[in-house]
Amino acid sequence: KIYEDVSDLPGLEHDFIIVGAGAAGNVVANRLTENPNFSALVLEAGVSNEGVIDAIVPFFYANLIAGPNIYEWNYTTTPQVGLNNRSVPYSRAHMLGGCTSHNGMVYTRGSAEDYDRWADVTKDPGWSWDSLLPYFFKNEKWTTPADNHDTRGEFNPAVHSTHGINSVSLSGSRWPVFENQVIQTTREFPEEFPFNLDYNSGEPLGVGWIQSTIGGGKRSSSATSYLGPQYIQRPNLHVLLHAQVSRLLGPQTTKGVVTFGGVEFSQGGSLFTAKASKEIILSAGSVGTPAILLNSGVGDKNALTALGITSVLDLPSVGQNATEQPLTFASWSVNSTQTIDPIEQNATLFDEVYAQWNASHTGPFTNLWATHIAWTRLDASSPIFENVTDPAAGPKTPHIEILVGTGSQSGDEPTGNFISFTMVVLTPTSRGSITLQSNNPFDPPLIDPGTLVTDFDRFATRESIKKAYRFVEAPVWKDYIIAPTVNLLNMSTDALDEFIRNNSSPAAHMVSTAAMSAKDASYGVVNPDLLVKGASGLRIIDASIIPFMPSAHTQAPTYVVAERGADLIKEKWK
């Protein structure tokens, strides 16, 4: 059941206390309460997702991140050197479902090599691609697209599952003219941009049809799927909203191992304590989880002491190693009326399309703007590799992602037709951090995503722009494209760097702030079983434990971490 008020809860002591009802937290809550003998309480700081139309209609997703609102933590980064010292918004959802309730819904797993690297660094083969594939299948419920179109040749059914929980589908409405342009590019430039039937097969390189966490024309979030009606009625599953966890309480150290007595949270201005008889599980995400640890005295001893926080467990890696992908845009005006722009420019047309969505959950609003994704590598002979070791997990792992779709980049051009590409550096070498500004746990943490700090990331961003322009050099675009909205190709390297610093942003995919490492490693925050090093009864299951950024958007990787994490807990307490 979902509760709004702490006084309605059937008690504050449960087998498991889960902090955060996001991508990971809801998976863990669902899977643990499959056992009727386990009771779980999820503490979520944010508000309900129920009836929030911008979190339901796929095309409206950008509305929730357009500016400060009650569904957001409304964070801002520290000044980013790589962005001309700009402080930029850093979106984190403050609602049931966490960022899966407001994210871009793009469903990408990354490469098999990404996960094999996780297995290598943690010395746990259970984190390899082959071992995790069954967990991707537990998560994913492959679903017919909203328009029921013939999807043969657009994906490989052998690498998908129809028996999971979270809906994933191909686009539910079409842009045939534009889509033909993209597919024709793969024929004209088969070496650089080969067609890939399914980029979620473990071998993403090439151009494939976009897959999204959308089902029946609506967003599928961890709240709508894992807390769906058939699960939320379980008598052993409790979710409390408006409950912001400040810290872990009552540390006791026995033989060098710390155990915490409970979790402190605030609701309506009062503080409460929840207790776990088996485990406390932190699933507050890459920003929230390290912040809670630091506020609890778990982190770098010297830094905490300087803030007046008593050190309980000296784990210098907490909040460090923050890894985030930088993204940049390019757009072109085009000689085609078959783009999303007329719908955004004409209120009557917009209302008609919205009415269609309301009536049948079909039409252009069942989608994102993008139709395909191109995954590509930097050229092996790139000069950057003279000084930098290739950060990709292997030769079948992309460095660059180009999301391609119709519509102007801003969505508010008064007239004209456009196409827009989003370029992402998937394998950044820059690192940032999550730290505290004070010893008040309700002060927002200092968020430094470390965007575009390194030469590699700046080089790869410039290359991602060149690759995007190369894509539209295929002959098929000749009469289609009118002109770039800003000509990035004619710029000097210095001018392009300046453009990038002024226009790039972090992709909101932060990982690794409480990273998993091998049991005997001298760094890291959790062991391969996701238990916090040096603590007992405390586990972390969310994007923060990811040891290396996968060449992907991060919801599918987080879901798979949570599916396996829940199994590790069940194994321990069976």
Ligand X SMILES: Cc1cc2nc3c(=O)[nH]c(=O)nc-3n(C[C@H](O)[C@H](O)[C@H](O)COP(=O)(O)OP(=O)(O)OC[C@H]3O[C@@H](n4cnc5c(N)ncnc54)[C@H](O)[C@@H]3O)c2cc1C
Residues at the binding site for FAD are: 103-106, 245
Which amino acid is present at 162? T
Q: Taking CB under 6 A as the rule, does residue 143 contact ligand X?
A: no
Please tell me what DSSP assigns to residue 130: H
CB of 98 or CB of 398, closer to ligand X: 98
**Using CA of residue 187, residue 152, residue 143, residue 139, what is the dihedral sign?**
negative
**Which listed residue (20, 82, 405, 428) binds ligand X by CB under 6 A?**
20
Q: Taking CB under 6 A as the rule, does residue 56 contact ligand X?
A: no
**Using CA of residue 53, residue 54, residue 58, residue 60, what is the dihedral sign?**
positive
Q: Taking CB under 6 A as the rule, does residue 427 contact ligand X?
A: no
CB of 70 or CB of 349, closer to ligand X: 70
**Which listed residue (556, 560, 566, 569) binds ligand X by CB under 6 A?**
556
Q: Taking CB under 6 A as the rule, does residue 245 contact ligand X?
A: yes
Q: Do β-strands 505-506 and 326-334 pair in parallel, antiparallel, or remain unpaired?
A: antiparallel
Q: Taking CB under 6 A as the rule, does residue 263 contact ligand X?
A: no
Q: Taking CB under 6 A as the rule, does residue 304 contact ligand X?
A: no
Q: How far apart are CA 21 and CA 288, in angstroms?
A: 12
Q: Which residues contact 390 (CB under 8 A, 6 or more apart)?
A: none
Q: Taking CB under 6 A as the rule, does residue 220 contact ligand X?
A: no
Stretch in the footprint of ligand X (CB under 6 A) among 17-25, 224-232, 399-407, 565-573: 17-25
Stretch in the footprint of ligand X (CB under 6 A) among 37-45, 170-178, 193-201, 449-457: 37-45
The size of the interface with ligand X (CB under 6 A), counted in residues, is: 41
Q: How far apart are CA 552 and CA 509, in angstroms?
A: 9
**Which listed residue (553, 563, 565, 569) binds ligand X by CB under 6 A?**
553
Q: How far apart are CA 226 and CA 566, in angstroms?
A: 13
Stretch in the footprint of ligand X (CB under 6 A) among 14-22, 150-158, 520-528, 566-574: 14-22
- Nearest approach in angstroms of CB 372 to ligand X is 14
Q: Taking CB under 6 A as the rule, does residue 46 contact ligand X?
A: yes
Q: Taking CB under 6 A as the rule, does residue 564 contact ligand X?
A: no
CB of 281 or CB of 453, closer to ligand X: 281
Q: Which residues contact 124 (CB under 8 A, 6 or more apart)?
A: 518, 528
Phi, psi of 300 (to 5 degrees): -70, 120
**Using CA of residue 50, residue 51, residue 52, residue 55, what is the dihedral sign?**
positive
Contact 552, 400 (CB under 8 A): no
Contact 167, 141 (CB under 8 A): yes
**Which listed residue (288, 405, 428, 445) binds ligand X by CB under 6 A?**
288
Q: Taking CB under 6 A as the rule, does residue 103 contact ligand X?
A: yes
- Nearest approach in angstroms of CB 46 to ligand X is 4
347 to 406, contacts with ligand X by CB under 6 A?
none
- Nearest approach in angstroms of CB 327 to ligand X is 10
Catalytic residues: 509, 553
**Looking at the chain, how many residues does it have?**
574
Q: Taking CB under 6 A as the rule, does residue 555 contact ligand X?
A: yes
**Which listed residue (558, 563, 565, 569) binds ligand X by CB under 6 A?**
558
Q: How far apart are CA 296 and CA 315, in angstroms?
A: 12
**Which listed residue (22, 290, 391, 524) binds ligand X by CB under 6 A?**
22
CB of 74 or CB of 184, closer to ligand X: 74
Stretch in the footprint of ligand X (CB under 6 A) among 19-27, 423-431, 460-468, 470-478: 19-27
Stretch in the footprint of ligand X (CB under 6 A) among 268-276, 284-292, 326-334, 520-528: 284-292
- Nearest approach in angstroms of CB 34 to ligand X is 19
* Residue located via tokens 């959790």: 526
- Nearest approach in angstroms of CB 45 to ligand X is 4
By CB neighbour count within 10 A (0-12 exposed, 13-18 middle, 19+ buried), where does 478 fall?
exposed
Q: Which of 328, 293, 297 lies closest to 310, judged by CA?
A: 297
Instruction: Report the 3 state secondary structure along 28-88.
Output: HHHHHCCCCCCCEEEECCCECCCCCHHHCCHHHHHHHHCCCCCCECCEEECCEHHHCCECC
3-state secondary structure of 94: coil
3-state secondary structure of 314: strand
Residue 541 in tokens: 């299951």
**Which listed residue (24, 237, 298, 474) binds ligand X by CB under 6 A?**
24
Binding stretches for ligand X (CB under 6 A): 19-25, 43-46, 65, 91-94, 98-100, 102-106, 244-245, 283-286, 288, 292, 508-509, 542-543, 553-556, 558
